[in-house]
Structure 1
Amino acid sequence: MEQRLTAEERLTLKTGAFGAVFLVANADPGMVALFRESFAASGAMADSSGVVKEALTNGPLPKLPRASAPEIEAVVLPALGRSVEILREKSPRDVATYRDVVLAAAERVARAHRGVVPAEAAAIERIRAALAQPA
């Protein structure tokens, strides 16, 4: 049974998804890469559906830290885990969709400029682990 997400829950899903993209993009920064990576990520999110698409495409953008990778991870990785918990509770059939969309966006970002470098691959693995954590 699907339940409507609150504005706070939608923002949590968005923080996790957009934050995962930012985490991977920040692993191998560059101005030219930024445009390509943003475009690649938006394509993956546009491919989502249902509750996930609603959460990712509506409402305000999340506020993410701009400092160090550990500070970014301290916000993003818990948001990914919490997003999975929210979806398990309110829309269980969308858990896999959320995981797939976030990982697809992260992987597209990594491949968008010069292929996947080790720092990006490591960021994707941390994202994958956060999404896989049981509630």
Structure 2
Amino acid sequence: MGQRLTDDEKMTLKTGAFGAVLMVSNADPGLFALFRESFAASGAIAGASGMVKEALTSGPLPKLPRDSALEVESLVLPALRRGIEILAEKVPQDVPVYRAVVLAAADRAARAHNGVSPAEAEVIARIRGVLGADATGR
């Protein structure tokens, strides 16, 4: 099955996943949109499996900056990269699960309010690039 993740490693995975959704929300801001986007993304996160599900659905939520999209991105993109490294080392079979969950959550967040804007599509492309995922999310 692989090795257990530490609390810090789980928080890294959460920071990446929840932060990716925040990055998408920040790309096309609006208070009402934020609630719809967060709700839509939560379904993808809840649908995770294996160690990814355990990491994303247990324990405290990550503390993410709210003031600056650049600040969010500078925290989230390295967390996504590190999350892939952690999983590749400890539970390699869950790497595609993490990629798929993060991309599905980001996509659902983008589609939740008036479809995917060009700014949201650009953010999703950056997330996909960091995750090393091809166009299908694998």
Are 2:83 and 1:83 aligned?
yes
Normalising by structure 2, report the TM-score: 0.94
Are 2:21 and 1:4 aligned?
no
Q: Distance in 2 between matches of 1:20 and 1:28?
A: 13
Q: Show CA shifts across 1:22-49 (max 9, x none).
A: 0001111111111211110100001101
Query: What residue in structure 1 maps to residue 113 of structure 2?
Result: 113
Are 2:45 and 1:45 aligned?
yes
Q: Which runs of 5+ in 1 are unaligned?
A: none
Identity among equivalent pairs (%): 70
Query: What residue in structure 1 maps to residue 67 of structure 2?
Result: 67
Q: Show CA shifts across 1:63-87 (max 9, x none).
A: 1111222111100000000000000
Q: Which runs of 5+ in 2 are unaligned?
A: 134-138
- Please state whether the residue corresponding to 1:38 is helix, strand or coil: helix
Q: Distance in 2 between matches of 1:32 and 1:72?
A: 20
Q: Aligned letter for 2:2? A: E
- RMSD of equivalent CA atoms: 1.0
4+ residue stretches of structure 1 with deviation over 3 A? none
Q: Distance in 2 between matches of 1:55 and 1:25?
A: 22
Q: Distance in 1 between matches of 2:69 and 2:31?
A: 18
Q: Distance in 1 between matches of 2:9 and 2:76?
A: 14
Q: Distance in 1 between matches of 2:61 and 2:72?
A: 15
Q: Distance in 2 between matches of 1:125 and 1:35?
A: 22
- Bigger shift: residues 119-128 or 62-71: 62-71
Q: CA deviation at 1:2?
A: 0.5
Query: What residue in structure 1 maps to residue 136 of structure 2?
Result: none
- Bigger shift: residues 9-18 or 61-70: 61-70
Q: Distance in 1 between matches of 2:35 and 2:96?
A: 28
